[in-house]
């Protein structure tokens, strides 16, 4: 268990199972490690048939990017101030804001690997 947690910091991917169930235009929050003890919470989004990963922490004022349906079927949204982000690039849409942090994702079978 400790070895898997330390792999997060060694540049190895984390395997998230069952991601093939995330439908087009939808997103799902996933905890990687213990979020209260230094782990991460990410949002996986499916747009254009591809899976993307964003940090769940909104760069605007520390809100949390929500999961569920994507805004207009393609943008992740922080409900705190209704900021939208492109899940592939992390760019804020129509607002002056820092980009949301993105992570490398590779799908394999029905699962995915995320480099955090």
Mean pLDDT of the 104-109 span = 95
Task: Find, among 78, 70, 84, the residue nearest to 22 by Cα.
Answer: 70
Categorize the per-residue pLDDT at 97 as very low, low, confident or very high, splitting at 50, 70 and 90: confident
> 105 pLDDT exceeds 60?
yes
Alpha carbon distance 77, 39 (integer Å): 22
> 1 pLDDT exceeds 60?
no
pLDDT digits over 11-32, tens only? 789 999 999 999 999 999 999 9
Number of structural domains the chain divides into = 1
Task: Find, among 100, 62, 61, the residue nearest to 84 by Cα.
Answer: 100
Supply the range of the domain harboring residue 89: 2-115
Categorize the per-residue pLDDT at 4 as very low, low, confident or very high, splitting at 50, 70 and 90: low
Are 38 and 5 spatial neighbours (Cβ–Cβ below 8 Å)?
no
pLDDT digits over 39-87, tens only? 899 999 999 999 999 999 999 887 899 999 999 999 999 988 889 999 9
The SS3 of residue 41 is: strand
The SS3 of residue 40 is: strand
Q: Indicate which CATH number applies to the domain containing 76.
A: 2.102.10.10
Alpha carbon distance 28, 19 (integer Å): 9
Are 60 and 84 spatial neighbours (Cβ–Cβ below 8 Å)?
no
Are 29 and 43 spatial neighbours (Cβ–Cβ below 8 Å)?
yes
> 9 pLDDT exceeds 70?
no
Q: What phi and psi values does residue 95 have, to the nearest 5 degrees?
A: -140, 155
- pLDDT value of position 60: 86
- pLDDT value of position 64: 93
């Amino acid at each position: 268990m400790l070895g898997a947690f330390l792999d997060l910091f060694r540049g190895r991917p984390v395997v998230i199972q069952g991601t093939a169930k995330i439908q087009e235009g939808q997103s799902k929050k996933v905890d990687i490690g213990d979020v209260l003890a230094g782990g991460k919470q990410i949002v996986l989004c499916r747009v254009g048939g591809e899976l993307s990963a964003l940090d769940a922490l909104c760069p605007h004022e520390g809100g949390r990017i929500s999961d569920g349906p994507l805004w207009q079927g393609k943008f992740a949204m922080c409900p705190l101030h209704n900021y939208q982000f492109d899940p592939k690039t992390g760019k804020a849409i129509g607002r002056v804001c820092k980009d949301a942090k993105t992570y490398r994702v590779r799908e394999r079978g029905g699962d995915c690997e995320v480099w955090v």
